[in-house]
Amino acid sequence: MPADTNPAGDIFGGWLLSQMDLAGGIVSRWRARGRTATVALDSMVFHKPVLVGDVVSCYAAVERVGRTSLTVHVHAWVERGDGETLHVTEGTFTYVAIGEDGRPRPVDPA
């Protein structure tokens, strides 16, 4: 059994969550114009399993900007070996902008 699979032989949900967090982190860093840190996974819905051999794509968009935080919604899609494309997972993550001193810093509202 490959390292990133669960006992059923599907891709382990924790692996997919980490890929989605990376996608959300890239978008939050771009929007905050600097370092961000994940502080919460507000929701996660696994619609369909990810199979070994699926090609996974994650898409993230900022939903809300607070004083120091950003809420990012991430969708994961797969392309199966037969070419079928499916929406498999979505989640909402909260990131906080981090200053050079390692403390939360304001995010430009624009």
1, pLDDT greater than 90: no
pLDDT of residue 64: 98
For the chain, what are the domain ranges?
A: 13-97
Return the higher-pLDDT residue of 64 and 3: 64
pLDDT in tens, 51-87: 999 999 999 999 999 999 999 999 999 999 999 999 9
Q: What span, in angstroms and rounded, lies between the C-alpha atoms of 13 and 91?
A: 12
Q: What span, in angstroms and rounded, lies between the C-alpha atoms of 63 and 38?
A: 15
Q: pTM for this one?
A: 0.94
| Fold observed for domain 13-97 | Thiol Ester Dehydrase; Chain A (3.10.129)
Q: Which helix (H) or strand (E) holds 13?
A: helix 13-32
Q: What Cα–Cα distance (Å) separates residue 55 from each residue in 18, 23, 98?
A: 15, 15, 32
Residues in a beta bridge with 99: none
pLDDT in tens, 24-56: 999 999 999 999 999 999 999 999 999 999 999
Token pair, residue 20, equals 């989605």
